[in-house]
């Protein structure tokens, strides 16, 4: 499922749009929504929004992180001695326009960009388990083949293939079995109900 993040500025006037059109495929596109810097040709940023893929995606995260931390990013090479710098840095994607990025924007971009990179590289199933959203099931999912993903609790049924080949559930403690992972998931999803039952039992006992 494609996901779009808006960041910077305020709710009505965000500065950047970060798009992950195909989670897990290692691509993030970035669109500047204001005109803070003219591009290198002297034109304002048009429809040619840069796309970051593969190593350029990791490089974008590194540049934004270093800029946000005030570390020198001159020439795209990390300085051995970190120098606090606020000079805008030229950023080039895999395709699309080169653009200038300043430190205030990097600070705005970093939290959403981090989420976008996780979604783009790890895919939807893993993203949901690292960045949980109550509305979405986080039932155990196979590290190797993605079995067990789904929207319902029954989806935590694991295939014979995964059991036979020793496939393990993603995002759990080391050496956790499928049975343990399913039990942990079930417990996490019944905690509220269970505590209500306990509460009612305690109240009855007080009578």
Reference 137, options 205, 86, 185; nearest CA is: 185
Query: Pattern of binders to Zn ion over 167-196, x per CB under 5 A?
Result: x-----------------------------
Q: Which residues contact 115 (CB under 8 A, 6 or more apart)?
A: 5, 127, 131
Among 38, 58, 130, 144, binds Zn ion (CB under 5 A): 144
> Considering the complex, what minimum distance in angstroms separates the CB of residue 163 from Zn ion?
9
Q: Does 145 bind Zn ion (CB under 5 A)?
A: yes
**Residue closer to Zn ion (CB basis): 104 or 150:** 150
Tell me which stretch binds Zn ion (CB under 5 A): 139-147, 171-179, 183-191, 196-204. Answer: 139-147
> Considering the complex, what minimum distance in angstroms separates the CB of residue 150 from Zn ion?
14
Tell me which stretch binds Zn ion (CB under 5 A): 10-18, 46-54, 146-154, 184-192. Answer: 146-154
**Residue closer to Zn ion (CB basis): 104 or 171:** 171
Tell me which stretch binds Zn ion (CB under 5 A): 47-55, 105-113, 142-150, 192-200. Answer: 142-150
Residue 95 forms beta bridges with which residues? 51
Among 57, 142, 149, 181, binds Zn ion (CB under 5 A): 142
Q: Which of residues 43-102 bind Zn ion (CB under 5 A)?
A: none
Q: Does 162 bind Zn ion (CB under 5 A)?
A: yes
Which positions lie near Zn ion, rule CB under 5 A?
142, 144-145, 147, 162, 167
């Amino acid at each position: 499922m494609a996901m779009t993040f808006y960041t910077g500025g305020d709710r009505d006037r965000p500065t950047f749009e970060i798009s992950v059109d195909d989670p897990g495929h290692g691509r993030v596109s970035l669109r500047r929504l204001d005109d803070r810097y003219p591009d290198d040709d002297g034109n304002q940023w048009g429809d040619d929004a840069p796309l970051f893929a593969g190593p350029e995606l990791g490089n974008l995260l590194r540049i934004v992180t270093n800029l946000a931390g005030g570390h020198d990013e001159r020439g795209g090479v990390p300085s051995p001695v970190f120098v606090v710098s606020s000079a805008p840095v030229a950023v080039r994607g895999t395709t699309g326009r080169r653009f200038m990025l300043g430190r205030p924007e990097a600070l705005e971009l970093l939290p959403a960009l981090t989420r976008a990179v996780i979604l783009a590289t790890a895919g939807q199933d893993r993203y949901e388990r690292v960045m949980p959203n109550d509305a979405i099931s986080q039932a155990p999912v196979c590290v190797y083949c993605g079995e067990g993903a789904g929207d319902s609790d029954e989806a935590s049924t694991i295939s014979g293939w995964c059991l036979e080949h020793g496939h393990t559930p993603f995002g759990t403690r080391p050496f956790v079995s499928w049975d343990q992972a399913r039990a942990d998931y079930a417990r996490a999803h019944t905690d509220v109900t269970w505590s209500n039952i306990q509460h009612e039992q305690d109240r009855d006992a007080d009578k």
